[in-house]
């Protein structure tokens, strides 16, 4: 007899949970939600500088290497902006054998999309390096974001 009582209690509990779950979902169909866009109080302006060596670039003559260094320095500046906006992922790994460190690795990567950045200037630094300065006005980024994503917050909920 005690086994039969346990089965009845389990069945009754499962039935009650199922009933509560179904009644909780029915409220989703009886409300209307109005949304409004949120604008930040202030917008920072980020800046980044990228560098690239001229002599290390691939090219047959000096002008080609200089152009490649300009492009590489611009990409380096974009990488720095991406680090500021999205952060930098760092992966580390260590291996031990007989309590002796045998392998120690550290890797970093950056991933993200930068929209709205503006090149302030590109210029040579010394005799073998090129630099590019970028600026990212976050108010411009927010405007671009609004035109594509249309972020929202709940303004009003009406239940029927």
pLDDT at 3: 52
Give domain limits for the chain.
2-35, 45-156
Q: In whole angstroms, what is the distance from residue 14 CA to residue 30 CA?
A: 26
Give residue 90's Cα distance to chain centre.
14
Low-confidence ranges of the chain (pLDDT < 70): 1-29, 151
pLDDT at 154: 76
* Beta-bridge mates of residue 47: 135
- Helix (H) / strand (E) element for 96: namely strand 89-97
Angle at 45 between CA 75 and CA 71, to 5 degrees: 15
């Amino acid at each position: 007899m005690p086994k039969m009582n346990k089965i009845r209690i389990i069945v009754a509990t499962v039935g009650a949970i199922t009933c509560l779950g179904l009644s909780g979902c029915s409220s989703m169909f009886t409300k209307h939600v109005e949304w409004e866009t949120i604008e930040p109080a202030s917008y920072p302006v980020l800046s980044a500088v990228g560098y690239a060596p001229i002599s290390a670039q691939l090219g047959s003559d000096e002008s080609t290497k200089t152009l490649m260094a300009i492009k590489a320095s611009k990409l380096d500046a974009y990488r720095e902006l991406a680090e500021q906006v999205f952060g930098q992922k760092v992966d580390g790994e260590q291996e031990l054998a007989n309590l002796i460190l045998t392998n120690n690795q550290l890797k970093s990567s950056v991933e993200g999309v930068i929209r709205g950045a503006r090149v302030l200037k590109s210029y040579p630094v010394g005799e073998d390096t090129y630099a590019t300065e970028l600026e990212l006005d976050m108010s411009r980024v927010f405007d671009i974001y609004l035109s594509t994503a249309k972020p929202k917050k709940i303004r009003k909920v009406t239940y029927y």
